[in-house]
Chain A
């Protein structure tokens, strides 16, 4: 069964870049034509789709975040990554990676000085 695991710093300073990695196990990131996605959930709020990437590298981003988001894939490591620049307190959230029905457990990222 496919498993996804997010990793990265739990604390990021305002104006800096948030960087997270999703490691995929139980399957190859290159073996599917479906995209790999990032989702976030601010404390007490709903889910927000950040963007996704195909193993080929083709991406799609939430228009409200597009200017600050970069999603990349490393097929050799079976990982895909998220970078969100110029973060503010509003970017504090649990960040999830997902692929079709499979989600990681999520990682809380707090933006604070």
Chain B
């Protein structure tokens, strides 16, 4: 079975830019994996930031964007705010409607 990979932790300075990535052990991530990105703050349910690679929800701050980068899905945060400190999960869909989550990236704004 495939494994979805994410950086365990990243740090960004307030106002800075950081890119989180989401890879697959089966090969390059493509739009056909319909990548999702979720943000989860402590004690809260995950909320969807990005779906289908790059589409935003109505509540997604403009500073977040999704893309494909170097064979991976990517979530870029431009102009980090203290409230962006959270755990970020990506999710990929495989054939047969099989879905996998990455292990999560703990983002620190410091």
Contact = CB atoms under 8 A, between A and B. Distances in A.
Interface residues of A, number: 21
Given A46-B89, A63-B1, A101 B48 contact: yes
A104 interface: yes
Contacts of B99: 37, 49, 52, 60
Contacts of B46: 47, 96, 103
A35, A54, A100, most chain B CB atoms within 10 A: A100
Nearest to B101: A47
Contacts of B98: 60, 62
Nearest to B92: A49
Bin chain B's interface residue count. 20 to 34
A46 B104 contact: yes
Contact of B101 (A46, A63, A106): A46
A103 B97 contact: no
A49 B1 CA distance: 13
Given A46-B104, A63-B1, A101-B57, A52 B97 contact: yes
Interface in B77-110: 89, 91, 96-104
A89 B90 CA distance: 26
Interface of B: 1, 36, 38, 45-48, 51, 57, 89, 91, 96-104
Interface of A: 35, 37, 39, 46-49, 52, 54, 58, 60, 62-63, 96, 100-106
13 contacts: A46-B102, A47-B91, A47-B104, A48-B101, A49-B91, A49-B101, A52-B99, A60-B97, A60-B98, A60-B99, A62-B98, A101-B36, A103-B48
